[in-house]
């Protein structure tokens, strides 16, 4: 299956979801190129960016799983095919 390069942008408003996010990322660690997390204490949120190279269905499952967590939103941007 052909892989795609994408960035998943995650905004975490509920820090109690952090363990669940990390567990999901661990499941897909073979596809993750890099990760950057920034705590934005002034606004009480965390911003996480995940660079990933994986089959599109794997990217969709990861982003969807993260986005379904309480207090978390996720959006995916794909590199041109």
Residue 12 has which token pair?
Answer: 């975490």
Our CA angle for 58, 59, 62, nearest 5°, is 85
User: At residue 11, does pLDDT exceed 90?
Assistant: yes
> What's the pTM value of the predicted model, to 2 decimals?
0.93
Q: Give the list of residues 6+ apart from residue 63 with CB closer than 8 angstroms, or none.
A: 8, 74, 75, 76
Domains and CATH numbers, the chain: 3-78 (3.30.70.1150)
Quick one: how far is CA 79 from the chain centroid? 16
- Taking alpha carbons only, the member of 81, 80, 79 closest to residue 8 is 79
Our CA angle for 62, 55, 68, nearest 5°, is 15
pLDDT in tens, 22-59: 999 999 999 999 999 999 999 999 999 999 999 999 99
């Amino acid at each position: 299956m052909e892989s795609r390069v994408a960035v998943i942008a995650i905004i975490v408003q509920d820090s109690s979801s952090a363990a669940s996010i990390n567990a999901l990322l661990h499941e897909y660690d073979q596809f993750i190129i890099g990760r950057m997390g920034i705590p934005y204490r002034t606004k009480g949120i965390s911003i996480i960016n995940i660079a990933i190279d994986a089959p599109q269905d794997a990217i969709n499952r990861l982003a969807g799983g993260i986005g379904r967590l309480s207090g978390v939103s996720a959006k995916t941007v794909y590199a041109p095919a």
